Chain A
Amino acid sequence: QVQLQESGPGLVKPSGTLSLTCAVSGGSINDSNWWSWVRQPPGKGLEWIGEIYHSENTNYNPSLKSRVTISLHKSKNQFSLRLTSVTAADTAVYYCARDFEGAKGPWGQGTLVTVSS
């Protein structure tokens, strides 16, 4: 079955760029699926960040669109998230997930990214 694993720096400085990668195993990133990023600030709810299709079409949360880029890395069976000009409000656990019939599943285990100097 498909499994996802996030990786990247756990600490990013304010005004810097957050970069995360999601490694996909047990399935191909080239399959006809959308691949998503979702985040969860400490003690708060889930926020959808955006998604990318195997054709590389993307959809982004309007509140983050000016700062977000999601990309596919087909040769590595990975996709990535780039968020620029980060502030403390971007501190969160970041999850990657595969879309399944419009829903999100499975999910990666999540990775905590803290924005602090």
Chain B
Amino acid sequence: QSVLTQPPSVSGAPGRRVTISCTGTNSNIGAGYDVHWYQQLPGTAPKLLIYGNINRPSGVPDRFSASKSGTSASLAITGLQAEDEADYYCQSWDSSLTGSVFGGGTKLTVL
């Protein structure tokens, strides 16, 4: 059972928009700690996609965006492409655990 809750799977047709939610509690996201997002393509290491709630590292397309409100955050992907098919993870800091916590991951299928 992950500290941060994500839907196990989402799907969308090419060109469409999908969102992935990440729900936490008042000891992590709700406490004001930043949320970060990772993309893990099949058989590869995770890659930082969004840091500090809304920021994209250089090289990440602007089709990827994220937001945070209260005890939740969300990742949005617009103009879906086949190469976006991957697992996506959110991550934050938890003051009760004094450590980083991850969501359980969401598998994105591009139909």
A and B co-occur in one complex: yes
A residues sitting closer than 8 Å to B (CB atoms) are 36, 38, 45-48, 50-51, 59-62, 95, 100-110
**C-alpha spacing A47/B55, complex, angstroms:** 23
**C-alpha spacing A61/B98, complex, angstroms:** 8
Determine if A45 and B51 form an interchain contact, defined as CB atoms under 8 angstroms apart.
no
Determine if A104 and B48 form an interchain contact, defined as CB atoms under 8 angstroms apart.
yes
Q: Which 7 A-B pairs have the closest CB atoms?
A: A105-B48, A103-B36, A103-B51, A48-B100, A45-B105, A107-B45, A46-B102
**C-alpha spacing A36/B99, complex, angstroms:** 11
Residues on B with C-beta less than 8 A from A101 are: 34, 51-52, 55
**C-alpha spacing A62/B101, complex, angstroms:** 11
Residues on B with C-beta less than 8 A from A106 are: 48
B residues sitting closer than 8 Å to A (CB atoms) are 2, 33-34, 36, 38, 44-48, 51-52, 55, 57, 89, 91, 93, 97-105
**C-alpha spacing A95/B100, complex, angstroms:** 14
**C-alpha spacing A103/B35, complex, angstroms:** 8
Determine if A100 and B48 form an interchain contact, defined as CB atoms under 8 angstroms apart.
yes
**C-alpha spacing A25/B17, complex, angstroms:** 38
Task: Give min CB distance, B33 to chain A, whole Å.
Answer: 8
Determine if A51 and B51 form an interchain contact, defined as CB atoms under 8 angstroms apart.
no
Determine if B45 and A46 form an interchain contact, defined as CB atoms under 8 angstroms apart.
no
Q: Which of B2, B91, B98, B105 contacts A103 (CB 8 A)?
A: B91
Determine if B38 and A62 form an interchain contact, defined as CB atoms under 8 angstroms apart.
no
Residues on A with C-beta less than 8 A from B105 are: 45-46
Most A C-beta atoms less than 10 A away, residue of B46, B47, B89, B98? B46
Determine if B93 and A46 form an interchain contact, defined as CB atoms under 8 angstroms apart.
no
Determine if A109 and B45 form an interchain contact, defined as CB atoms under 8 angstroms apart.
yes
Question: A105 with B99: in contact, given A45-B104, A45-B105, A95-B45 (CB under 8 Å)?
Answer: no
**C-alpha spacing A62/B3, complex, angstroms:** 13
- CB-defined A-B contacts under 8 Å, sample of 11: A36-B100, A38-B46, A45-B104, A46-B89, A46-B102, A47-B102, A48-B99, A102-B34, A102-B52, A105-B48, A106-B48
Residues on B with C-beta less than 8 A from A103 are: 34, 36, 48, 51-52, 91
**C-alpha spacing A50/B101, complex, angstroms:** 11
